[in-house]
Amino acid sequence: MKKGVIILIVVAVVVLGIFMWVKSTYNGLVTKQESVESAWSQVENVYQRRADLVPNLVATVKGYAAHEKETLEGVVNARSKATQMSIDPTKLDEESLKKFQSAQGELGNAIGRLLMITENYPDLKANENFKELQAQLEGTENRITVERQKFNESAKEYNTQIRHFPANIIAGMFGFDRKPYFEAKDGADEAPKVEF
């Protein structure tokens, strides 16, 4: 009888130990996953801030450079495409991130073209509204860089956690999948050509 009680206690302790380990590992993975999803939401938030600045920027430029219709339409169309692109953070994968990054890149390029044409309009460059919008855009671009970095750091911590043994067993059992990273655009490693 005593031997049976001891075996039962040992089995109960082992089962309780395994349960506590699974619970702790699972909860740790959930916490890391939530951090990635929170970081992703913040990335979308700052991109939305940039998109929200575009209509005011276009309206300001339009008053000075109405004949630059093609460039203005390009910015509006790129903004529309970028704001339609949203990703559910629970379904974040390589393909969806590349599509998102491409749409945001198109908007960034369109804004860059818009700001370049302003060089031809000294009155526009001196306009206080334009200066303020330009400063806000610059600040927003800096925020985007910071939030993308934070997202990549969160994704790295999460991806590392789901690959470590023995947490990878729990990750596989409960469907914790790898999260993608923001990557530099193709050609970003090459210096731009400057011609005069």
Condensed to tens digits (0 to 9), the pLDDT of residues 100-154 reads 999 999 999 999 888 888 888 888 777 888 888 888 999 999 999 999 999 999 9
Inform me whether the pLDDT recorded for 17 exceeds 90.
yes
Inform me whether the pLDDT recorded for 187 exceeds 60.
no
Query: Which fold does the domain 54-181 belong to in CATH?
Result: de novo design (two linked rop proteins) (1.20.1440)
- Compute the average pLDDT of residues 48-65: 86
What integer pLDDT is reported at residue 65 of this predicted model?
A: 75
DSSP, residue by residue, 39-54: HHHHHHHHHHHHHHHH
DSSP tally for the chain: helices H, then strands E: 6, 0
Distance CA 183, CA 160 (A): 18
**120 vs 167, which has greater pLDDT?**
167
What integer pLDDT is reported at residue 190 of this predicted model?
A: 54
What integer pLDDT is reported at residue 11 of this predicted model?
A: 94
**186 vs 43, which has greater pLDDT?**
43
Domain assignments of the chain as residue spans, ordered by start = 54-181
What integer best gives the mean pLDDT of the chain? 87
Long-range CB contacts for residues 114-120, cutoff 8 Å, separation at least 24: 114/57, 114/58, 114/61, 114/71, 114/72, 114/74, 114/75, 117/61, 117/65, 117/68, 117/71, 118/61, 118/64, 118/65, 120/65
Inform me whether the pLDDT recorded for 77 exceeds 50.
yes
Inform me whether the pLDDT recorded for 62 exceeds 60.
yes
- Compute the average pLDDT of residues 13-32: 94
Inform me whether the pLDDT recorded for 24 exceeds 90.
yes
Distance of CA 196 to the CA centre of its chain: 36
